[in-house]
């Protein structure tokens, strides 16, 4: 069962940029450091793709609708919720407070420059970095993009627009690093 405490804690952690909504990809650079604890979710449910049982621990990345984006130990990202677009349909969720952590939310504007070099500054040893934003890219080769129908789509492409949502830095570097882009992203 989703608890309001988990939702409030994670929502506060993710949306702690005053005056700007993280989804708006603001032009101004916002840097906030806020000590908190890593939240781990104990999830019981079923995969919506094949109805196989899910019973495990996941890292909570951010609030997503009425559920959460979570990451498994092997790095896969899922939407865990009771909403129709979830990859894991929740039956029960509880949270464990993990090790202490600090979250930095930083906005980045790209002006027709390689994505990889622009986000390289966030590649820190031992840090978990997730990128959200919207970029314009010309002549994108979509065959290199990860496609796993069982995971949350952290990279979406329509025409010349790339939308990133909680995309791990390593995946963005690997799949889009050489692409030139214009737009705004946030790293968490």
pLDDT digits (tens, 9 = 90+) for 66-113: 999 999 999 999 999 999 999 999 999 998 877 777 778 888 888 999
| Confidence (pLDDT) at 10 | 37
- Report whether pLDDT(9) > 80: no
Distance from C-alpha of 55 to C-alpha of 90, rounded to nearest angstrom: 10
* Token code pair at residue 127: 């840090």
| Confidence (pLDDT) at 92 | 94
Least confident range from 6-20, 54-68, 98-112, 119-133: namely 6-20
Nearest partner of 172 among 121, 116, 112, judged by Cα: 116
| Confidence (pLDDT) at 164 | 93
Residues 3-12 have a mean pLDDT of: 37
| SS3 category, 176 | helix
What are the residue ranges of helices labelled H in 4-91?
A: 4-14
Contacts of 93 (CB under 8 A, 6+ apart): 1, 2, 3, 6, 41, 42, 43, 44, 45, 68, 80
Phi, psi of 143 (to 5 degrees): -70, -15
| SS3 category, 78 | strand
| Confidence (pLDDT) at 12 | 35
- Report whether pLDDT(24) > 60: no
Per residue in 123-178, pLDDT (tens digit) is: 887 788 999 999 998 877 765 677 788 999 999 988 889 999 999 999 999 989 88
Distance from C-alpha of 52 to C-alpha of 49, rounded to nearest angstrom: 8
Distance from C-alpha of 126 to C-alpha of 167, rounded to nearest angstrom: 17
Nearest partner of 135 among 152, 158, 117, judged by Cα: 158
Is the separation of the CB atoms in 105 and 22 below 8 Å?
yes
| Confidence (pLDDT) at 145 | 77
Average pLDDT for the chain? 77
């Amino acid at each position: 069962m989703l608890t309001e405490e988990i939702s409030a804690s994670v929502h506060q952690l993710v949306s702690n940029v005053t005056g700007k909504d993280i989804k708006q990809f603001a032009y101004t650079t916002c840097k906030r450091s806020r000590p908190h604890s890593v939240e781990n979710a104990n999830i019981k449910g079923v995969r919506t793709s094949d109805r196989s049982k899910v019973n495990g621990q996941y890292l909570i990345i951010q609030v997503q609708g009425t559920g959460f984006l979570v990451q498994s130990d092997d790095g896969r990202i899922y939407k865990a919720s009771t909403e129709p677009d979830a990859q894991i349909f929740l039956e029960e969720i509880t949270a464990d407070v993990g090790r202490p952590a600090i979250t930095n939310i930083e906005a980045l504007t790209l002006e027709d420059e390689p994505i990889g070099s622009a986000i390289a500054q966030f590649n820190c040893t031992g840090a978990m970095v997730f990128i959200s934003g919207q970029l314009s890219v010309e002549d994108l080769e979509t065959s290199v993009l990860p496609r796993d129908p069982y995971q949350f789509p952290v990279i979406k492409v329509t025409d010349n627009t790339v939308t990133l949502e909680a995309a791990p830095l390593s995946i963005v570097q690997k799949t889009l690093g050489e692409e030139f882009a214009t737009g705004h992203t946030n790293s968490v």
